[in-house]
Amino acid sequence: MPLGVFAEQPSRGIVRIAILSPGTSETRSVFTAFRAQLRELGYEEGREVALQFYLAKGSERLPDLSKTIARAGVDVVLADGRLAAQAMQAASSTIPIIAVAGEPVIAGLATSLARPGRNVTGVATMATELASKQLEFMREILPSAKHIGVVDVTASPGPAYRGLEERAASLGVVVRRIVIRTQSDAERELTPNSLRNVDGLVVPSNAIFGGMSTTLIRLINAAGKPAIYGDRDFVLVGGLVFYGFDIDDAFRLCAIIVDRVLKGANPATTPFEQPTRIALVLNLKSARALGLTFPPSVIARADEMIR
């Protein structure tokens, strides 16, 4: 298929953008940020653009919703996370897909970040690199830790997780993968008994976790386990540490890329963007509740402290 097939302008009239997410709510801050950026670019909802949400409430319905979107013939799709992007790309090789995804090349979504080669572009959050750094911070906060739980959504460990295992070994710790896809999974896997042999947790940024922040924080804090999160919203509702990129900023970047595509840019030749702002946020109130004191070396690097 020639690359130029994606460069056609959408039909005249209102632009239809489908938003595919494994989440549960349209009101998440990422979607607010996406909408706000579209408005700044001159797209008024109801006049120039119509947003249609397809919320899978987990990962199982993503393939069916993707097929529904493909049949609807929308102009562009915003894919919230790797799983949504993979499902949508499987359903259509022609509809432009703008995705926030951790490792697009490893996930098979693109040939390279500079020249994706297919119908998916967007923002690459480089989740593997971030997860390794989160693991390092957890080890620094808990020098005696030997077993760190890593919350994941995939049925089986992929290359990214195997890379994390290698990094853990170099730090002298063992990682244990904890698979959570639904709230019932969380209620089962994050009990004090289930976590009895885990010293701390790493909860990477993931679209599925976005709608479960309150539940995950409640369970992890009730189990008395320190945790570092890849989504800033978690520390705002009681999480201990956030280290990662600004996810809202990633979705604002997606709105800018949507604008480029609607004006004729080809996803196959439009490079993936990468977040430039990485932040460390410490919740001192949560640390006191857990009986923890952050090392001076960690405090010195904090961008923000919640008291």
Amino acid of residue 133: K
- Same domain flag for 24 and 113: yes
- Same domain flag for 91 and 215: no
- Same domain flag for 267 and 294: no
CATH code where residue 217 lies: 3.40.50.2300
- Same domain flag for 285 and 184: yes
Element (H, E) at 101: strand 97-101
- Same domain flag for 173 and 292: yes
- Same domain flag for 198 and 293: yes
Query: pTM for the whole thing?
Result: 0.85
Predicted confidence at residue 159, as pLDDT, reads 66
Predicted confidence at residue 6, as pLDDT, reads 42
Q: Which domain holds residue 144?
A: 127-245+279-306
Longest pairwise C-alpha distance within the chain: 62
- Same domain flag for 87 and 177: no
- Same domain flag for 116 and 217: no
Query: Inter-axis angle of helices 82-91 and 62-72, to 10 degrees?
Result: 50
As averages over each run of 10 residues, the pLDDT of the chain (307 residues) reads: 40 85 90 97 94 93 97 96 96 97 92 97 86 90 94 79 86 94 93 96 87 91 96 92 92 97 97 90 96 94 93
Distance CA 224, CA 196 (A): 10
- Same domain flag for 53 and 120: yes
- Same domain flag for 156 and 59: no
Domain count, the chain: 2
Closest Cα to residue 127, out of 243, 251, 29?
Answer: 243
| Three-state DSSP state, 90 | helix
- Same domain flag for 67 and 151: no
- Same domain flag for 97 and 158: no
